[in-house]
Amino acid sequence: MAKNYALILAAGKGTRMKTELPKCAFPILKKPMIEYIVESVERSRIHESYVVVGHQREVLEDLLDERAQFVYQPEQLGTGHAALCAKQSLGAKEGTTLILLGDMPLINEQIIDKILYTHHKFNNDLTVVTANFDDPEGYGRIIRDKYGKIQAIVEDANCTEDQRQINEVNTGLYAVDNQTLFKTLDFIEKNPYKNEYYLTDIVELMRNDYKVGTFTVRDKNRVMGINDLYAISIAEKFLRDEINRGHMLNGVSMINPETITIGHNVSIEGDVTINPNTTITGNSTIRKGAVIGPNTEIHNGTIHQNVKVKHSLIYDSAVHERSTVGPFAHLRNNANIGRDNRIGNFVEVKKSSTGPNTKASHLAYIGDTETGANVNFGCGSITVNYDGKEKHNTYIGDDVFIGCNTNLIAPITVEDNVFIAAGSTVTDDIPQGALAIARNRQINKADYTKHLVKPKPKNNGKK
């Protein structure tokens, strides 16, 4: 059976972006553009995909890794040349190739499948995918003859005044018979205007000897091309609205949804409330009954049922049932907060796990620590995990009360049922059931203040 191939052109620098990162790796809602495209292709009726890389190729290769095959374009000589670079890998194969641009991240599998369907249904050799844009500036225009048949694509910069008025644009997507494509690409000549090989020239090269048709995409937002950072903001707004709408229809309530950003791979159960200025991205999961925000950022977080998080940052961490986080807490690097915990004001938890009913309500640092159940970290308690060279672990058992302003100098083990006096700097392990006091005894010097020299009045005795 003839196969469907995808050829994604992503070798360009993206000069108009004015950023260091190659354009197709630039993030939209914190996920690189190219990943959206590859994922939509994976969900479509395409069998194999090839990505053309060039400028900073290693960035894209690292991002996609095993998910695509790569074709190298050593010098960026235009979209026609980029496609031609795939000749060795693809040229001899029988089937249909869908050409996509690496800067159209909003494309989805439904559109891809519709294009392939139309291409095969009409027995086309080439199907050019077009859209009608209110503001077509920057896009190649579709030139049709008086019968409506496509004749050519003219780039914005090469348009005559009349052509510039045309609203039908080239989306940069084409379905094309694979072997015919590579035969034709050899004949594209350098466009003198920009000194580049334009892929769009295949229309003129094929229109007389082959069946060339068009397919017009109705959902035109989906085929917008990203050329600069303003376009990134438009794409983000589009995706944000669409994703938020989907969650709201699934029973997630959002207060001021225009200030809420939910990433593409986030799953949220019903009965969750999300308050303003909240961003949840990466592979995050939010379970039933949770209340998130305001002013909260979660990336790769798992938030279990009925957890409340406000004014806080959670990265690569989990929070279990009914716990509360914030205001102003920071969980990171595999913090695993047990059920019914309270992680409160200005508390940082790094690479640590806490047992049920543990509390650190104010001003604490918990790092490289494992605690049991019912541990209370008093205000200002710190697990001192770093000796200037290496990180060390702290183990704390069940039912431990850590008084305010305690330093636990790691490595250290605090056994079950221990009480640590406030202000202690604990350097030795504490056995089960003990009270540990690690600070100087208080000295009171009687009648001391009468010896203090009284400060002179500021006005030097003047009236």
105 touching Ca ion, by CB under 5 A: no
Stretch that binds ligand UD1, among 8-16, 120-128, 206-214, 443-451 (CB under 6 A): 8-16
205 touching ligand UD1, by CB under 6 A: no
* Cα–Cα distance measured from residue 184 to residue 123, given in angstroms and rounded to the nearest whole number: 18
Query: Closest Cα to residue 338, out of 287, 372, 296, 383?
Result: 372
Please choose which of ligand UD1, Ca ion, none residue 394 contacts, taking the beta carbon within 5 to 8 angstroms, the exact cut-off set by kind: none
Please choose which of Ca ion, ligand UD1, none residue 338 contacts, taking the beta carbon within 5 to 8 angstroms, the exact cut-off set by kind: none
x/- binding map, residues 131-160, to ligand UD1, per CB under 6 A? --------xx------------x-x-----
Longest alpha-carbon distance in the chain: 110
41 touching ligand UD1, by CB under 6 A: no
Residue closer to ligand UD1, measured from CB, 128 or 337: 128
The least distance separating ligand UD1 from the CB of residue 149, rounded to whole angstroms, comes to: 18
Do residues 90 and 183 touch, judged by C-beta distance below 8 A? Answer: no
Residue closer to ligand UD1, measured from CB, 75 or 94: 75
The least distance separating Ca ion from the CB of residue 198, rounded to whole angstroms, comes to: 13
Cis preceding linkage at 411, omega within 30 = yes
Options 11, 29, 51, 84; binder of ligand UD1; rule CB under 6 A:
11
The region, left, alpha or beta by phi > 0 then psi within -120 to 50, assigned to residue 195 is left
Q: Which residues of 21-39 are buried (b: 16+ CB within 10 A; e: fewer)?
A: ebbbbbebbebbbbbbbbb
The least distance separating ligand UD1 from the CB of residue 249, rounded to whole angstroms, comes to: 31
Host H or E run for residue 34 = helix 33-42
Please choose which of ligand UD1, Ca ion, none residue 261 contacts, taking the beta carbon within 5 to 8 angstroms, the exact cut-off set by kind: none
Options 12, 54, 140, 225; binder of Ca ion; rule CB under 5 A:
225
Query: Closest Cα to residue 180, out of 150, 221, 146, 210?
Result: 210
40 touching ligand UD1, by CB under 6 A: no
Options 184, 200, 352, 406; binder of ligand UD1; rule CB under 6 A:
200
* Cα–Cα distance measured from residue 272 to residue 248, given in angstroms and rounded to the nearest whole number: 10
Residue closer to ligand UD1, measured from CB, 225 or 257: 225
Residue closer to Ca ion, measured from CB, 136 or 225: 225
How distant is the alpha carbon of residue 116 from its chain centre? Answer: 29
6 touching ligand UD1, by CB under 6 A: no
168 touching ligand UD1, by CB under 6 A: no
174 touching ligand UD1, by CB under 6 A: no
The least distance separating Ca ion from the CB of residue 103, rounded to whole angstroms, comes to: 5
Residue closer to Ca ion, measured from CB, 166 or 335: 166
Q: Tell me the Cα Rg of the chain.
A: 31
Query: Which of 247, 362, 392, 451 is labelled catalytic?
Result: 362
Q: Which tokens in the block code for residue 313? A: 């940052």
Host H or E run for residue 220 = none
56 touching ligand UD1, by CB under 6 A: no
What burial class does residue 16 get, using C-beta atoms within 10 Å of its C-beta: 0-12 exposed, 13-18 middle, 19+ buried? Answer: middle
* Cα–Cα distance measured from residue 197 to residue 383, given in angstroms and rounded to the nearest whole number: 62
Total residues in contact with Ca ion, by rule CB under 5 A = 3
The least distance separating ligand UD1 from the CB of residue 199, rounded to whole angstroms, comes to: 4
- Our answer to whether residue 362 is catalytic in this structure is yes
102 touching Ca ion, by CB under 5 A: no
* Cα–Cα distance measured from residue 303 to residue 317, given in angstroms and rounded to the nearest whole number: 9
* Cα–Cα distance measured from residue 177 to residue 75, given in angstroms and rounded to the nearest whole number: 26
* Cα–Cα distance measured from residue 396 to residue 413, given in angstroms and rounded to the nearest whole number: 6
Active site residues: 362
Applying CB under 5 A, the residues found at the interface with Ca ion are 103, 225, 227
Applying CB under 6 A, the residues found at the interface with ligand UD1 are 9-12, 24, 52, 73, 76-79, 81-82, 101-103, 139-140, 153, 155, 169-172, 198-200, 225, 227
